[in-house]
Amino acid sequence: MTFGKLKRGTALSRIVMIAALGLASTGALANEVSLKSADGTVNLTGEFVDFVDDNYIIRTALGELRISAARVRCEGAACPSFEDVTADVTIAGSDTVGEALMPLLMSGFAGSMDAESSVVATSTATDVVASFVGDAGFGDELGSFLIRSTVSGDAFDALLDGTAEVGMAARRITPNEARALRDAGAGNMVSPSQEHIIAVESMVVILHPSNPLDTLNKEQLRDIYEGRVTNWSELGGNDEPIRVGAREAETGSRAVFEDRVFLGDRADLVSGAFIAQSNNDLAAFVNSEPGGIGYVGYAFQRGAKPITVVNHCGMPMTPNVFAAKTEEYALNRRIYLYNTDDGASDWASDLIEFAMSPEADSVITKAGFINLGVQRQSQSSDSARAQMLQNANVDAFERGIISEMLTSMQSHDRLSTTFRFRTGSSRLDERARIDMIRLVDYLQTLPEGTSVKVVGFTDDVGPYESNLVLSKDRAASVLGSLQAEYGDALTNVTFSSTGYGETAPATCNTDDQGRSINRRVEIWVESGTAS
């Protein structure tokens, strides 16, 4: 990675301390401050003493305490003021990305350049500044990022008005947002050079830990959120009024939840619902309310009780890493970074390149998100899919197809790499390019002569026999693309392709979302081989 030359003079060098330090003359009350973390784990009150090396120093009954500014925000008249906060690059958008992932991503990015990052909260509640110093913290200041964490929609507003160079989103850009940016000269926002998938995440429906329920289906969730069910006893739970928690209307979390649970409709949210400004706020609400329910990113559960969501056709969807990587979990979502086509700075481009690379996988995982690396899973006869196939109520022809698939499953493991097609098209979706590169890197590590099978599936629209042919054609198409572009690098493996049509749906075929998940091509590798 080439690190671009950056201007000097970062935000930290502009910190201006405006608090008077004459404690004797002003008295302790005049200098009292509170240090609070966003997740509620730190809440300290004391007498402000100093701000040194990115740490607040306060005097309490326990003596002087030193608290990292990266962990807390200072409240009170005596707090230091971060006046004239500027940075080399501004990143704006989703708080899911900005609060949970971006600080650790900054640390990993710095480490990849033998630099050190320092994250400091500003006087604006939504903003932090990450500053970089070379030579592991002993060199020159390299540059800085201002990270503004609000909602996904703000990412595209900030790119449109030029107040941000990079947008963070916990949902994909909408057609209207993309058109507005295109018309303003920002380019094609869904091109690979401007739209970057850096991770995936499972959204989790959470209850208070005392709630005995372990599962809810989508119809029950809709009834709860629209106020038709108001007490947990109506669903077999405690005699406790339901307290509904939701995110703000413009957040990616709200959009994904309503799209997957209400099939794209906007929820007629029950009156009196708690509207949280962040994932942490929503988790705190649910943990404090015995009747509480909410939905948060996987990294934000904070001790609340996650439940299994049962989809419209009765299939339980439990969040786990493999289901998230294959995007077969009901409340899965992609995490994006966006830039306009007028050329991101070297600094911004290098960050995006790092975020999409295998180097970032460990920090993405540490932040509670799911990286795009390849994972391998056995397809044993006692697996959920094998059991579903064995118990399927089908005719003799389909039973023969199932038998063929079960036999092949016994000798092959499945990789998490799963290619999907755009609706009504034979063209692969926007994640395919990333997955193809990761897949090739993985396959190159396999032993000489390993069997790799490319396996196609379809939705259930149309005759069974036609879908069987279509699934084989799509598998052959993916295999052809793989061999045409990377064949010279994969001489250690042997390829074949096949398809099983609408057999083994990953989710319901009752709506467009479900059918798009089922239109897929999987990668199977010979059992007993290891990378």
Candidates 421, 387, 404, 399; CA nearest to 499 is 404
Strand partners, 521: 419, 456
Candidates 114, 113, 111, 118; CA nearest to 145 is 118
Given a contact cutoff of 8 angstroms between Cβ atoms, the answer to whether 166 and 337 are in contact is yes
What's the gap between Cα 78 and its chain centre? Answer: 37
Given a contact cutoff of 8 angstroms between Cβ atoms, the answer to whether 299 and 173 are in contact is no
Q: What percent of the chain has pLDDT over 70?
A: 90
| Token pair belonging to 27 | 């008295």
- Tell me: the pLDDT tens digits for 418-438? 998 766 556 777 888 899 999
Q: What are the φ and ψ backbone dihedral angles of 337, each rounded to 5 degrees?
A: -120, 140
3-state secondary structure 297-329: EHHHCCCCEECEEECCCCCEECCCHHHHHHCCC
Candidates 77, 80, 86; CA nearest to 67 is 80
- Quickly list H helices, 356-431: 361-366, 384-390, 396-410
Given a contact cutoff of 8 angstroms between Cβ atoms, the answer to whether 495 and 483 are in contact is yes
Tell me, what's the pLDDT at 36?
82
Answer yes or no: is pLDDT of 379 > 60.
yes
Candidates 17, 47, 51, 43; CA nearest to 30 is 47
Answer yes or no: is pLDDT of 23 > 80.
no
3-class state of residue 63 by DSSP: strand
Answer yes or no: is pLDDT of 2 > 60.
no
372 contact partners, CB below 8 Å, separation of at least 6: 197, 198, 199, 200, 325, 356, 361, 434, 435, 438
pLDDT confidence bin for 249, thresholds 50/70/90: confident
**Within 13 Å, how many C-alpha atoms sit on residue 213's CB side?**
28
- Tell me: the pLDDT tens digits for 111-145? 999 999 988 877 777 888 999 999 988 999 899 99
| Token pair belonging to 353 | 């390149």
The amino acid at 364: I
| Token pair belonging to 90 | 């501004």
Answer yes or no: is pLDDT of 381 > 60.
yes
**What is the DSSP-derived secondary structure letter of residue 224?**
H
Q: What percent of the chain has pLDDT over 90?
A: 59
pTM of this prediction exceeds 0.75: yes
Given a contact cutoff of 8 angstroms between Cβ atoms, the answer to whether 337 and 189 are in contact is no
Tell me, what's the pLDDT at 5?
36
| Token pair belonging to 289 | 């309310």
What mean pLDDT do residues 202-230 have?
94
The amino acid at 3: F
Candidates 200, 257, 198; CA nearest to 226 is 257
**What is the DSSP-derived secondary structure letter of residue 400?**
H
What mean pLDDT do residues 478-491 have?
93
